[in-house]
Structure 1
């Protein structure tokens, strides 16, 4: 329950929707409003985020995409109300009582994501110099990371008595450098394939894709919520964070993760060059290298045990994503072989 001042503020906002609050529950940035006309969700966001958010939502509505929890306009037609330096917008409160299997829910999320990306897809011009600059900058950063990890491992091996962290890093070193090699190879293939291209595909991305942001209505249809971080960028900006987050666990072979991705690709296929870039970024062992750098710089006064634990977790992430990368590589090679066979027969 809100305190009296908060309740009064909520009443002022709801008045612009011709609603009267009877009871309000606080859930962080969302208020559950029991009103004279039903139950609603009132969400607060910063005005800085609001501009892109409402523009992207409106664009998707216009394209006929309706699997976003609807935003109700105020009585003056605006999609948000400015109050106390914050923007507020109103939605229905969905119960989210779907009891479907975990894999089924993920499959539906990726199918809906593909549909949203399809409806919002646009090609934007990109200068050759811009693409080359991105490639050169990325390669430079990765080279610096490689040199750092090689030097750290080399210095560690010279010691008579390595620290537990140094010993662990030397055990993991080969896997980290193999992931680097693969990521660099795919990035180079991407650049060779696209350096003459003058366009790039962009979509409206969700920006914070997760199962918590995909909820169900009383008819069993899934809807996206929390679009405040939506952007117009290439599709991997949604795919990569979700898959990497799914791999942040104990060592596991996430065949489900690969199935979710290919369910998405069934409805919104990535071009060859987009897949190369996706594979490169997925394979890159950035978080393992960052953990070693944090240990080297010893910021924050953390213990040896803390850093060992962190490196162990990042190594599990590396191996889990490596499994996904290898499965994707295998599937893509099979597709190319099948396409080549078809061509030779025709």
Structure 2
């Protein structure tokens, strides 16, 4: 990193530079504080990222932290093939009154999605319904076969490793995941016929505690490097999956936060089915299991076990959460009448 070139580009007279994380620096200059971010952006990402920045400013999104322009009116500085950008430093406020982060963050997600919402026509998706149904069946069959093949491979050994035993113990729960996936695939296909449009919003793309700052009045989202326009369910699925990997995840607060979100965005049955399919996706789980059969030279058995446990927790809580979502469907309420 060429500090002189970066500071000169932003015309900063530094008083102090503090490295906060491996990618974030806090810079004090002229009695103000700034955040310098070493991004993960590639040259191919820059155009999309700059367009997102401009879009957020034009829409005047509440909670968006703008980037400063350089003296050459650029939104970033390149140094040693890395791209850096500068933002105001937002100080997190610690209040005496406890803050419910689940609700706070979902309020912010809801406001973001509501402010950027548009609609996407589903006519082409409906026309390809038969292809989608075949793809669903093929993928689910493949997932089931992969899982069974791994379990048989591990159980055929005289002695299983702790990680292999861990995977085999979770086989019955994974069967439940596959069964619920099949149910939601049917729901998706059933409600597709009666759905003409789906909501289309700007999604942050990577919502987690390190990417937002909660103050007394607003929640500010940071790091828009993964932002793009898609179904609002993408942000919800990503955020809930992140929460679910931890042992102290509060399921009740998850369901309450989902109700809060639906006050901002009234998700259709089609979109709820899409959310459930995203939450129940076993792709990452199967990738982790596959990695145990072809361990890397420097891989740690303990780290593998932790990753498998975290992914298992995501899917286990997804099983409970999808049942809650199912009870909110208009389809399920109609079925209950008969």
Q: Normalising by the residue count of structure 2, what TM-score does the alignment of the two structures yield?
A: 0.81
Q: Tell me what 2:65 maps to.
A: 69
Superposed CA offset, 1:163-216 (max 9, x none) = 366655444322211211111221222123225856432211111101222214
Distance in 1 separating the partners of 2:36 and 2:309: 41
- The two structures, once aligned, show a CA RMSD in angstroms of 3.5
Q: Which moved more, 1:117-126 or 1:226-235?
A: 117-126
Q: Which moved more, 1:254-263 or 1:311-320?
A: 311-320
Superposed CA offset, 1:252-277 (max 9, x none) = 66211222222111211211100011
1:30 pairs with 12, 21, 24, which one?
24
Distance in 1 separating the partners of 2:142 and 2:272: 25
Superposed CA offset, 1:61-115 (max 9, x none) = 2223131113233445443345554443322111112337665233121111111
Change (3 A) 1:133 1:50: farther
Q: Secondary structure at the residue paired with 1:88? A: strand
Q: Is the 8 A contact 2:102 2:253 kept in 1?
A: no
Q: Which moved more, 1:81-90 or 1:205-214?
A: 81-90
Q: What is the deviation of 1:286?
A: 3.7
More helix by share: 1
Change (3 A) 1:315 1:43: closer
Q: Tell me what 1:188 maps to.
A: 186
Change (3 A) 1:69 1:177: same
- Residue 265 (str. 1) matches residue 262 (str. 2): yes
Q: Is the 8 A contact 2:24 2:36 kept in 1?
A: yes
Distance in 2 separating the partners of 1:257 and 1:306: 27
Distance in 2 separating the partners of 1:9 and 1:82: 9
Distance in 2 separating the partners of 1:84 and 1:23: 22
How many residues end up aligned between the 2 structures? Answer: 331
Q: Tell me what 2:54 maps to.
A: 58
Matches within 5 A, 1:1-346: 6-15=2-11, 19-27=12-20, 28-36=22-30, 38-45=32-39, 46=41, 47-75=43-71, 77-82=73-78, 85-99=81-95, 104-126=100-122, 127-128=124-125, 133=131, 136-153=134-151, 159=156, 163=160, 168-194=166-192, 199-217=197-215, 220-250=217-247, 254-295=251-292, 297-300=293-296, 311-330=308-327, 332=328, 337=333
Q: Normalising by the residue count of structure 1, what TM-score does the alignment of the two structures yield?
A: 0.80
Q: Which moved more, 1:173-182 or 1:285-294?
A: 285-294
Change (3 A) 1:333 1:237: closer
Which blocks of at least 5 consecutive residues in structure 2 are unaligned?
none
